[in-house]
Amino acid sequence: MPRIAYVNGRYLPHNRAGVHIEDRGFQFADGVYEVIAISEGNLVDIEPHLERLNRSLGELNIPWPVSRRAFGFILREVISRNRVSNGSVYLQITRGVAPRDFAYPKDLKPSIVIYARGTAKPSIETASNGHKIISQPDIRWKRCDIKTVSLLPAVMAKQIAADEGAIEAWLVNEEGMVTEGTSSNAWIVTAEGELVTRQTDNLILSGITRQTVMKLAKEAGVKCVERSFTLEEAKQAKEAFSTSSTALVKPAVEIDGVQIGDGKVGPIARKLIEHYLNYMDNPS
């Protein structure tokens, strides 16, 4: 079955779907995106994702190209046309097409690209493998709260991680604090047993998975504290993991070659993986 992508009002074969060479997304990374997990054909946390998209668009003064309701319909149509049961949908809205100039005309029609990708349904076994992560300096801008397609510092750090056989790079700012992963939020369980993830501000993306995992932790009786932590604290933690819509809850057992805890996936990560997988099947 051919893959189908949605581009500016048309459903096209994936390999023939393209945008204009003067699309500002292509030339200036002038656009925003979302990645939403699909579980049994359902979009996981669709409303918070659309709300964050709304915020990202607003911060960049890009209008919604279609109504939010119509947008939800198109997302579901792409999933259905590609018969994806489990996987993710990628959506991108850019400011639109204009002759190349840093300043933009106010009346542009934003461009939309949406496509879906199927993956194997995650299981507790596959989700519970421990991974290596490394640290990298956080060289990004000061508006990481906007989910823009301007991702080069993250691409560079993630490539260094991949070259070193690590699954993610945690980014460390000039104060020595871990901000987040290149494409995930960072969590630790401290030596004292406290579940910690950084507070949200302009230096990180407010992850939808982060929000859901905080809720699930609370329901499971695990207290979560939102505060900054240093790389050193992370290396001495009992547990460490990252969260994102595609990685879900991804445990780390090594940071920069330092073993975390006893080198095995810890009980809190395990519990949260289990709760998150259940949640994906029955989101509330």
Minimum separation from the CB atom of position 151 to ligand PMP (A):
7
**Shorter beta-carbon distance to ligand PMP: residue 88 or 128:** 88
Minimum separation from the CB atom of position 210 to ligand PMP (A):
6
**Shorter beta-carbon distance to ligand PMP: residue 48 or 72:** 48
**Shorter beta-carbon distance to ligand PMP: residue 19 or 53:** 53
Task: Give how far the C-alpha of residue 24 lies from the chain's centroid of Cα atoms, to the nearest Å.
Answer: 22
**Shorter beta-carbon distance to ligand PMP: residue 155 or 220:** 155
**Helix ranges (DSSP H) in the chain:** 24-28, 46-59, 68-81, 124-127, 152-163, 208-219, 231-235, 267-281
218 Cβ partners below 8 Å, 6+ apart?
Answer: 224
Minimum separation from the CB atom of position 131 to ligand PMP (A):
16
d(CA 149, CA 167): 21
Whether the Cβ atoms of residue 179 and residue 192 lie closer than 8 Å to each other: no
Minimum separation from the CB atom of position 45 to ligand PMP (A):
8
Whether the Cβ atoms of residue 49 and residue 63 lie closer than 8 Å to each other: no
**Shorter beta-carbon distance to ligand PMP: residue 108 or 151:** 151
229: burial class by Cβ within 10 Å (0-12, 13-18, 19+)?
buried
C-alpha distances out from residue 33 to 56, 91, 96, 177, Å = 8, 5, 14, 26
d(CA 49, CA 167): 24
Catalytic residue among 132, 142, 147, 215: 147
Q: Is 147 among the residues known to form the active site? A: yes
Contact residues: ligand PMP, CB under 6 A: 35, 180, 183-185, 205, 207-210, 243-245
Q: Which residues in 43-52 are b (16+ Cβ under 10 Å) and which e? A: bbbbebbbeb
Minimum separation from the CB atom of position 35 to ligand PMP (A):
6
Active site positions, annotated: 147
